């Protein structure tokens, strides 16, 4: 999916958007960007116009993530966006592997914004590997008697450097989370559109954020997540 693919529609809406309760972290379940210029427009809109701090893109195909990152490289440096890789690029092409390595290294000192690209990402495997690494550290005495809690376990997840998502936007009639961010989505709000990646507009994003703004988040009946 995508948001704000038509920047020309955004000019009259920026001030209204800035007055909204913008989420800190938006997750986009993305199909292949099939409109010329969609990558640049998306980066300009999210990190430039709206100044969203955290964005995670989960693509249908890892090659789409590589193409997106390649097209966005100059703008990511312009807006000081740090690139995080979720999953493994080992099964991608040598060119894609080199690109992921180059961009994560080139942006590692940025802290203004964060973009996570999911490549061969499997949330069940993420949780399983986190548990295995915790058990290994415990067995080798590397935890100094620290008991296992959510905060401790989180440090073993691939997403430990980014907050849990506030809002997920599903497009293309998607109604599932596709084995993504299973641990992190416990208290996330969802908004769904039947539109495709290319057809979602700034007006749609406003609708999604307004809907999010007026929801009363209960965090599973807790006053706040623990």
The enclosing domain of 192 has a CATH number of 3.40.1180.10
**Per-residue pLDDT at 16 exceeds 60:** no
Neighbours of 135 (CB within 10 A): 12
Rounded average pLDDT over 179-186:
87
Rounded average pLDDT over 58-81:
78
Q: What is the pLDDT of residues 31-60, one digit of tens each?
A: 555 444 567 777 777 787 778 888 888 776
Range of the domain at 41: 7-121+163-221
Residue 2 lies in a domain: no
Q: Do residues 31 and 44 both lie within one domain? A: yes
Q: Angle at CA 4, nearest 5°, toward 42 and 162?
A: 55
Q: Do residues 55 and 152 both lie within one domain? A: no
Q: Do residues 147 and 87 both lie within one domain? A: no
Q: Do residues 193 and 213 both lie within one domain? A: yes
Confirm if 194 and 215 have CB atoms less than 8 A apart: no
Beta carbons within 8 Å of 102's beta carbon, 6+ residues apart: none
Return the higher-pLDDT residue of 28 and 16: 28
**Per-residue pLDDT at 218 exceeds 70:** no
Q: For all residues of the chain together, what is the average pLDDT?
A: 76
Q: Which two tokens stand for residue 12?
A: 């009259």
Q: Do residues 117 and 172 both lie within one domain? A: yes
Q: How many domains does the chain have?
A: 2
Q: Which two tokens stand for residue 211?
A: 């809907």
**Final residue belonging to a domain, choices 157, 183, 204:** 157
Residue 1 lies in a domain: no
Q: Do residues 14 and 95 both lie within one domain? A: yes
pLDDT at 127: 95
In angstroms, how far is CA 177 from the centroid of its own chain? Answer: 13
Taking the C-alpha atoms of residue 138 and residue 72, their distance in angstroms, rounded to an integer, is 41
Split at pLDDT 50, 70, 90, the class of 219 is low
Residue 187 has what DSSP assignment?
A: T
Q: Do residues 135 and 153 both lie within one domain? A: yes
Grouping H, G, I as helix, E, B as strand and the rest as coil, residue 168 is strand
Q: What is the pLDDT of residues 114-160, one digit of tens each?
A: 988 887 888 999 999 999 999 999 888 887 766 788 888 999 998 88
Q: Do residues 35 and 78 both lie within one domain? A: yes
Q: Do residues 73 and 104 both lie within one domain? A: yes
Q: Do residues 145 and 34 both lie within one domain? A: no
Q: State if pTM tops 0.85.
A: no
């Amino acid at each position: 999916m995508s948001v704000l693919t038509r920047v020309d529609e955004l000019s009259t809406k920026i001030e209204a958007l800035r007055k909204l309760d913008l989420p800190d972290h938006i997750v986009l379940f993305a199909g292949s960007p099939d409109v010329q210029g969609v990558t640049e427009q998306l980066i300009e809109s999210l990190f430039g116009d709206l100044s969203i701090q955290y964005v995670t893109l989960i693509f249908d195909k890892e090659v789409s993530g590589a193409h997106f990152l390649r097209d966005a490289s100059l703008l990511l440096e312009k807006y000081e966006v740090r690139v995080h890789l979720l999953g493994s690029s080992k099964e991608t092409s040598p060119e894609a592997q080199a690109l992921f390595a180059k961009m994560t290294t080139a942006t590692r000192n940025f802290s203004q914004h964060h973009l996570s690209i999911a490549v061969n990402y499997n949330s069940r495997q993420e949780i399983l590997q986190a548990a295995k690494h915790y058990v290994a550290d415990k067995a080798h005495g590397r935890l100094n008697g620290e008991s296992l809690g959510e905060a401790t376990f989180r440090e073993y997840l691939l997403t430990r450097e980014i907050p849990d998502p506030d809002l997920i936007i599903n497009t293309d009639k998607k109604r599932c989370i596709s084995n993504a961010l299973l641990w992190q989505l416990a208290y996330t709000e969802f908004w769904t559109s039947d539109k495709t990646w290319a057809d979602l507009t700034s007006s749609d994003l406003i609708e999604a954020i307004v809907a999010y703004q007026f929801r009363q988040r209960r965090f599973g009946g807790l006053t706040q997540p623990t």
